[in-house]
Amino acid sequence: MLVSIEPARAKRPEWLKAPAPVGENYRDLKQLVTDLKLHTVCESAACPNIGDCWNRKTATFMILGNLCTRRCGFCAVQKGAPLEVDHDEPRRVAEAVSRMGLKFAVITSVNRDDQPDGGAGIFAATIRAIRERIPGCGVEVLVPDFQGSREAIDIVLEARPDVLNHNTETVPRLYKQVRLGARFERSLEMLAYAKQKSPEIPTKSGLMLGLGETLDEMRDVMRQLRAHQVDIVTLGQYLRPSSKHLPIVRYVPVEEFAALRQFGVELGFRHVESGPLVRSSYHADEAVK
């Protein structure tokens, strides 16, 4: 049974308080990203785990600029006219991964609906650049829906990522408010096609809680993801980036996250990461193991 709805102005619970981003590793990584003119989703999306992850020398690189062609109601990434595609970016991402000494890298992007392939070619080039520079380094890609283009998915899969991640984000009923320009069925079809095309590559998806979904709706989405052979799922609390974004309908208690994790395990997911501060790339290297 769901707990009572809390107003968006309610005080943030203790379990949602993350440590401030400080420390030598954090400062070094911030300088490295600046020097190489790169973007991270950690900064652009105001991730609460930035201090934890950066001090562990892990980061999610955001390619294809930092301006998104869509206007999702939950996302802190800037919206606007997209930047020119930077074809040297894959090399610089690989250099950053090398200098950080990473054994597992996560690559994501803004939506690039202005590009014929949705940016798939740059994803593939980045995977290859990392593999050439750091043999043995694992690579997870968190891709947009490419407007349903199977050709774009093929381009990414041919570069052989270790994990293909695409977030469904929320339940179908809330898509018009949360994921403007996206369709739940299209995301499911994309994940299913990726598994059909490359069954040996794990597929992954992430969902936010606290936007007004019911527990039954969340369970139904998890069932559908598993029915489409998704291997890994992440569940986390939605946190409002600013007053211009969608309000928090409620703070989901840790017990509910634990129950959903158990439900996911029973459904047969290979890994379920579920907790208030979980994000789609949180502990990504551990999930693929």
Whether the predicted pLDDT of 1 surpasses 50: no
10 Å Cβ neighbour count for 176?
Answer: 11
| Topology classification of domain 18-288 | TIM Barrel (3.20.20)
Average pLDDT value for the chain: 84
pLDDT value of residue 44? 47
pTM of the model: 0.86
Each residue of 123-175: pLDDT tens digit? 999 999 999 999 989 999 999 999 999 999 999 999 999 999 999 999 999 99
Apex 260 CA angle, 15 and 218, nearest 5: 105
pLDDT value of residue 39? 75
pLDDT value of residue 19? 57
Percent of the chain with pLDDT over 90: 56
Specify which residues 78 forms β-bridges with. 67
Q: What is the mean pLDDT of residues 251-267?
A: 97
Distance in angstroms (rounded) separating the CA atoms of residues 28 and 35: 10
- Is the torsion defined by CA of 7, 10, 15, 20 positive or negative? positive
pLDDT value of residue 6? 42
Whole-angstrom CA distances from 218 to 91, 129, 212 are 39, 37, 10
The CB-side HSE value for 189 (13 A sphere, CA atoms) comes to 11
pLDDT value of residue 62? 87
Which residue type, as a one-letter code, is found at position 194?
A
pLDDT value of residue 83? 78
Largest separation between any pair of C-alpha atoms in the chain: 52
**Dihedral, 185, 191, 196, 201 alpha carbons, nearest 10:** -170
